[in-house]
Every structure is written in structure tokens, then in C-alpha cells.
Amino acid sequence: MSALLIVYLLIFALFGMASTELLRFIYFSWVKKELRLELIRRVMGYVVVIVLLSTLGPWLLS
């Protein structure tokens, strides 16, 4: 398997992790009525890594 496919697989996994954390934040804010900002921080960290991998990954591996 090429390195670019591994990068794309990692991006896909990070999207799944970010969406899970975002759904947990929505659940806690709507059902439990509490704000957990650490969930938003995690999502923002995932987004930063996704953006870095999607921009730099193909450029560095080509």
C-alpha cells in the first residue's frame, strides 16, 4: 500500500473521531445541559491535523 493511501486512511479516521466528539458535545449540551469545552478543543485539534495532512501529505509524498 502506498504512503499516500495511508495518509488518506488516517484522514478518514480523524474525520470519524472528530464527528464522534462533536456528537458527544451536542449530546452533552442538549440532553445533559452542560458544556464540555474539552470536546470542542479535541475537535479543533483533529481539524488542524486533518488540514495539515490533506495539504502537506500529497505535496510531501509526491
| Cα–chain center distance at 53 | 11
Q: How many independent structural domains does the chain possess?
A: 1
| pTM assigned to the model | 0.82
Picking from 15, 41, 19, the residue whose alpha carbon sits closest to that of residue 7 is 15
Which domain covers residue 17, as residue numbers?
Answer: 3-61
Q: How many CB atoms lie within 10 A of CB 56?
A: 11
Mean pLDDT, residues 15-27: 95
Q: What is the pLDDT of residues 4-17, one digit of tens each?
A: 899 999 999 999 99
Comparison of pLDDT for 48 and 3, the residue scoring more: 48
pLDDT > 90? residue 54: yes
Q: Average the pLDDT over each of 17-21, 27-31, 45-49, 54-58 and give the range with the smallest value.
A: 54-58
Query: For the chain, what percent of residues have pLDDT higher than 70?
Result: 98
